[in-house]
Amino acid sequence: TWIACATAVLQVNAEPVFVDVDPDTLVMTPAAFEAAITPRTACVMPVHWHGQMVDMDAIVTAAHQRGIRVLEDCAQATGGLYRGGRHVGTMGDAGIFSLHN
């Protein structure tokens, strides 16, 4: 959603890999994430978009089964509640805000 996401990855000498989003929700799908996983995948950064939530249950499960960390970007859903009333930014290994200033 903003260059800050990819820039943060580059700043730690890692290579960002982009995946397609669902055309209806404009967020990453678990299937797209799983299709992009390689032996070098160390982290996933699902980005909630305009209040649309990523399927965090499926993303976190798939990631943790493979030892992949989850950085949940919740800048576009600040204050949002996920299934069961969980706050965005609390479901991954860390909640982050990619801001442009």
* H runs (alpha helix) in the chain: 3-11, 30-36, 56-65
> Is 83 in contact with 54 (CB distance < 8 Å)?
no
Query: For residue 4, what pLDDT band results from cuts at 50, 70 and 90?
Result: confident
Q: What is the pLDDT of residues 52-92, one digit of tens each?
A: 999 999 999 999 999 999 999 998 998 899 998 999 999 99
- Residue showing tokens 């950085």: 71
Domain 3-96 has CATH 3.40.640.10: yes
Every domain of the chain and the residues it spans: 3-96
pLDDT for 1:
60
16 to 38, 42, 66, 84: CA distances (angstroms): 12, 11, 18, 31
Q: For residues 79 and 69, what is the distance between their CA atoms, to the nearest angstrom? A: 23
CA quadruple 90, 92, 12, 40: dihedral, nearest 10: 180
